Amino acid sequence: AQQPGTPLSDQEYRQFFRSLRTAHRASTVCLFRALYGCQNPLVRRLDEYENHGVIPEGPICSELPGTPFFPDFCAFSFYRCTRKRYFIKV
């Protein structure tokens, strides 16, 4: 464990900035989704990539307390974006 107030190690900096870049990318995709919608070809490709090539159809169930059901993957994705909970899975 590092002493409080000391700088991060090189490895810790890499991990710190890796997570920031990932969240930044996710928020950029959310902005794109909000501007162009789920039917945009790029958004659809990203959704397919996230789901191993197939966007789930129909109702989506999640393990989120209080919000277990979404009418479709698009609604689930918008929920993640509006709540800034980018990495929640179904």
Residue 1: per-residue pLDDT: 59
Residues 60/73, Cβ–Cβ less than 8 Å: yes
pTM above 0.85, yes or no: no
How many domains would you assign to the chain? 1
Flag whether 1 is in a domain: no
Flag whether 21 is in a domain: yes
d(CA 64, CA 29): 22
Flag whether 90 is in a domain: no
Q: Which domain holds residue 31?
A: 10-83
pLDDT in tens, 63-90: 777 777 899 999 999 998 998 888 877 7
Average pLDDT of the chain is 85
